[in-house]
Amino acid sequence: MSSAPVALVTGAARGIGAAIATELAEAGFDVAIFDVIDAAATVESARKLGRNAISITGDVTVDADRKAALKQIESSFGRLDVLVNNAGVAPKVRADILEATEDSYDRVMGINLKGPYFLTQAAANWMVSRRRDGHDGFMCVVNISSSSAYAPSTGRGEYCISKAGVSMATKLWAARLAEFGINVYEIRPGIIATDMTSTVKEKYDKLIAGGITPIARWGLPQDIASAVRSCASGAFKFSTAEVFNVDGGFHLRIL
């Protein structure tokens, strides 16, 4: 069994997830990456930091892939301490909710909400059984939601609904897992520079220049990774279901 704590980070081949996995490696975690695309680069950066790392190719929406991922972590590391539900997608087309399709709704809800919900269920059952077997170390789940959990964008309703669902899932799992000493946190990124936002760069450049965020800059994947590291390292042991806005103050209402 790995002597270091082990973190599973979904969607860590690039963007926010890659920064999270690398940051956790730096914090001393061995890391498993679960992504639909190859995550060799992230594995390489974790290994350069002296940690063990594995890449598991699979889809969070597929039950067999989720189970296979956990099995692989069990055979490679023998333990799981932290689950970071980061994988997520925007709609392929930003369509007004008067026009948007059921197919896009099902795709976004499947990847952003249903997949992570059942991955959490499977990982939580493993963590609970480790606790029952006497493991007394810190364990937690970190969900990456979005400011879209509360701020409506009528051009991507399915995304907003999926992220609002992630917020409720955070509360549900926090309530259910507290008795086992497994904490659950939600990180709510604002506008972060990644592939996901590259298609709307001009729009967000203008919004930021116009003052939409009190801290007037794009967020970086590293901003989210630092917050995840704090949660995963047990800095907030007496907090669960806590929401951390990492958004340059976007959530403030200023008069």
Ligand X SMILES: NC(=O)c1ccc[n+]([C@@H]2O[C@H](COP(=O)([O-])OP(=O)(O)OC[C@H]3O[C@@H](n4cnc5c(N)ncnc54)[C@H](O)[C@@H]3O)[C@@H](O)[C@H]2O)c1
Supply the DSSP symbol for 6. Answer: E
CA distance 48 to 38: 18
- Say whether residue 141 binds ligand X (CB under 6 A): no
CB 110 within 8 A of CB 167: no
Q: Which of 105, 159, 185, 204 is catalytic?
A: 159
Cβ-proximal residue to ligand X, closest one: 88
How far apart (Å, rounded) are the C-alpha atoms in residues 100 and 104? 7
CB of 216 vs ligand X, minimal distance in Å: 16
Q: Cα dihedral sign for 116, 121, 127, 130?
A: negative
Binding mask 184-223 for ligand X (x = CB under 6 A): -----x-xx-xxxx--------------------------
Residue 137 C-beta: closest distance to ligand X, Å: 26
CA geometry: angle at 26 spanning 30 and 220, to 5°?
A: 115
Q: Tell me the residue type at 19.
A: A
Active site residue 159: yes
Out of 22, 45, 55, 61, point to the residue binding ligand X (CB under 6 A).
61
Q: How far is the CB of 33 from ligand X (least distance, A)?
A: 9
Segment near ligand X (CB under 6 A); pick from 30-38, 46-54, 95-103, 123-131: 30-38
CB atoms within 10 A of CB 212: 16
Looking at 54-62, 91-99, 206-214, 232-240, which segment touches ligand X (CB under 6 A)? Answer: 54-62
Rg of the chain over Cα atoms, rounded to whole angstroms, equals: 18
Residue 186 CB, nearest distance to ligand X (Å)?
Answer: 11
Q: Where are the beta strands (DSSP E) in 58-176?
A: 82-85, 139-144
Rule CB under 6 A: which residues touch ligand X? 10-11, 13-17, 35-37, 59-61, 86-89, 111, 144, 146, 189, 191-192, 194-197
Catalytic residue set:
159
